[in-house]
Chains A and B, each alone.
Chain A
Amino acid sequence: MTEVFAEVAHEPGAAKQDPIVIADHVHRHFGGLTAVDVEHFEVQRNAITALIGPNGAGKSTFFNLLTGFDRPQRGEWQFNGHSLVGTSPAKIARAGKVRTFQLTKALNRMTVMENMRLGAAEQGGENFFKALVPGLWKAREQEITEKAHVLLHRFKLYEKKDDYAGSLSGGQRKLLEMARALMSDPEMIMLDEPMAGVNPALTESLLDHVVELKNEGKTILFVEHDMHMVRRISDWVVVMAEGRIIAEGPPQTVMANPAVQDAYLGAHHDSDLSEEDPS
C-alpha cells in the first residue's frame, strides 16, 4: 500500500491526505428510484482509485455526475479546489479532468491520427475564423502531431495512425481512447470500465499504461468489474452499493469487509468476486 494512504481510515467517506476531488451530499434519483446518494467522497491525488460495486450500484451514474454528463438533484463537488456544480462536461475536461467511456467512443470514421489531434487542447484553428487562415494554426498542428506520434508509439498504435478508427480491435480502441484523452495533458483521468471487451492479450499492457500514468504524476479513478485489475493496480478501493458508498480501503483488505460481501452476494451471486486472486 502506498504510504499516502497509511493514515486514511478504512471507512466510507474517509478523508484523504491530499484530495483532488471532493464531493458532498450528491443525490441523483430517476423518478422514485435513488441512483446515487453519496454523503462524502474524496479522491487522493496521484493515486489509482478503483470504484467498484455490484450491478446497479450507481457507479456509472456517479461517474457521469463527477464528469458533468449528468446533473444531480443536489450536492456539491469540486476539483482542485474549484466547484464543478453545474459545469458542462467540456469545461470539466478543459479543467484537466478527462474521461473515457464504458462503450468505447472511438470516432470510427476518422483516422487514428485525426482522433488523436481532436484530443489536443489549445488549437486555435478550432475557432471558425482562425480555421479560414491555415497560417494561424499550422504551427500548433505540427506540435500536436508530434505529440500524437509520441503517444501513439507508446500505446503501440503508430502503425495504425492512418487507419480509420473503426477498423481497430476492441482493445486497440480502448488504447486509442486513453491515448486521445492524454493529448490534453490532463491532471486526472477517469476510466469507465477500461477492461470491458478487451482481449486478454492486451490486458497486461493496458494495466501497465495505467500504472505508468500514475508514475507520471496523474490521478486515476476507474470503474471496473474485473477484480483482477482492481487488485493488481489500485492503491485504494471505494465500494458502492445501492447508490451509497459502503466501504473504503486498500484492495487487500476491503473485500474482507462484511458489508462488501453482503452487497455482492445479495445482489449478484456469480460476481467475479468469487474468483481466486491470481497474483
Chain B
Amino acid sequence: MDILLDATTAVFAPATAAFALAAIGLNFHFGLTGLLNMGHAGFMLLGMYGYAISTSRGAPIWLALIVAIAAATVFGLLLGWPTLKLRGDYLAIATISAAELVRYLGRSNSLQGLTGGSTGIRGSDFKFTFEELSPLPNENITILFWTNHGSLSSSWWLHIVAWSAVALFALLFWQLARSPWGRVLKGIREDEDAVRALGKNVYSYKMQALVLGGVIGAIGGVLWSLGASVQPDSMGRPTTFWLWTILLLGGAATVFGPVLGSMLFWMSLVVIKGLASTFIPSSVLSPVEIEPFSLVLVGITLMVLVVFRPQGVLGNKRELAFND
C-alpha cells in the first residue's frame, strides 16, 4: 500500500513535471526534426545556472527566467552553428561533449565564485523569488494522503506551476506540430535533401528546432532546481539518457508521449525500488545496491524499447521518428 502511495506521489512530483518538460524539448529535437541531441542535460544545467545565479545576484524572477532562456539560446546557436550542416552522429557527439563541457566548467574550482563549484548552489540562495509569489498559505497542507508545504521547496505551489508549464508546452507542441512550420521539421526528419529541393532553408529550421527544444529543456531545468538545488553532477550524461528513455517510452513525435513517459519512468523507479526492498532480502540486494539495480533495469528498458517498440506507448508505428 505504501508503494502505491509512493508511486502516485512520484507520478505528480514536480521533478516528474520537470523531466516531462525537458522531454517535450527533446521531442522538438528528435520527435519532430530527427536531431540527435545527446546533451539535453547541458541545456537544463545552463537554464538552472542562468536562473539561480541571476536570482542570487538580486535579479527579479522574470529577468532570471530570461537569463535562463538566453543562456540556452546562445548554447543552442553555438552548438548548432558548426554541427547542423554535418551528419547526424556528429551532432550527437558534439552535443554530449558540449553538455559535459558545461558541467566540467560549472563544477570547476576556477568558477567557484559564480557556480559554487562541485557543490553547486544551495536552494535557499535562489528559490525565494519564486516562493514569494506563492498565493498559497505558508504552512503544510494535506490533501487526501499527501502532505506538502504550501509554498516552500517541493510545494503545492511548485506542483501547480510545474504541471501548468507542462500543459502549456504540450499545447505549444501540439499547435506547432500541426502547423506548416512543424510540417517542414517533419520533412527534414524524413529527408533533408528533399526538403531542400522544395525551397526550404533546412539549416535555419534545424537551428530553430534546436534552440526551441533547448529553451524548453532549460525551463525544465529551472523547475527541477526549484524542487531540489543546482547541482552540476545531477545533470550529467545519465540525465540525458533518462530523458531519451522517457521520450521513447512515451512515444516520440506524440503530444503526450513525454508526459506519460516521465510519469511511467519515475513511477516505475519507485515501484522497483519499493518491491526490491520489500521482497529481496538485504543479504542478496543491500539497500545501497537497490539504486544501481533499478538503473540497470532502466538501461535494459531503453534497449528493449528501441528494438521492439520504438514508437513507445502512444506512438504510431507508421509515423516513427527513426529513419531506415
Instruction: Consider the complex of A and B and state whether they touch directly, i.e. have CB atoms less than 8 Å apart.
Output: yes
Beta-carbon contacts under 8 Å, B153-188 to A: 172, 175-176, 179-184, 186-187
- Sort chain B's interface into a size bin: 20 to 34
A90-B199, A98-B197 are contacts. A107–B180 as well, Cβ < 8 Å?
no
Least CB separation from A68: chain B residue: B196
The one of B175, B198, B318 in contact with A164, judged by C-beta atoms closer than 8 angstroms, is B318
A110-B190, A131-B180, A134-B179 are contacts. A93–B208 as well, Cβ < 8 Å?
no
Using a CB–CB cutoff of 8 Å, the interface residues on chain A facing chain B are 67, 69, 88-91, 93-94, 98-101, 105-110, 114, 117-119, 121, 123-128, 130-132, 134, 137, 141, 164, 166-167, 177, 180-181, 183-184
B198 touches A93 (CB 8 A): yes
A109 touches B190 (CB 8 A): yes
Beta-carbon contacts under 8 Å, B298-322 to A: 318-320
Beta-carbon contacts under 8 Å, B197-214 to A: 197-202, 208, 212
Whole-angstrom distance between the alpha carbons of A124 and B208 in the complex?
A: 16
B4 contacts the other chain (Cβ, under 8 Å)? no
The one of B179, B201, B318 in contact with A137, judged by C-beta atoms closer than 8 angstroms, is B179
The one of B181, B186, B197 in contact with A101, judged by C-beta atoms closer than 8 angstroms, is B197
Whole-angstrom distance between the alpha carbons of A134 and B176 in the complex?
A: 10
A127-B181, A131-B179, A164-B319 are contacts. A110–B187 as well, Cβ < 8 Å?
yes
Using a CB–CB cutoff of 8 Å, the interface residues on chain B facing chain A are 172, 175-176, 179-184, 186-187, 189-191, 193-202, 208, 212, 318-320
Which residues in A have their C-beta under 8 angstroms from that of B190? 107-110
A89 touches B180 (CB 8 A): no
A sample of 13 inter-chain contacts (CB < 8 A) reads A91-B199, A93-B196, A99-B197, A114-B186, A117-B183, A118-B187, A119-B198, A126-B180, A131-B179, A134-B179, A167-B318, A183-B198, A184-B198
Least CB separation from A125: chain B residue: B180
A89-B196, A94-B199 are contacts. A118–B175 as well, Cβ < 8 Å?
no
A181 touches B198 (CB 8 A): yes
The one of A105, A131, A132, A164 in contact with B197, judged by C-beta atoms closer than 8 angstroms, is A105
A101 touches B194 (CB 8 A): yes
Whole-angstrom distance between the alpha carbons of A149 and B316 in the complex?
A: 26
A90 touches B196 (CB 8 A): yes
Whole-angstrom distance between the alpha carbons of A270 and B8 in the complex?
A: 71
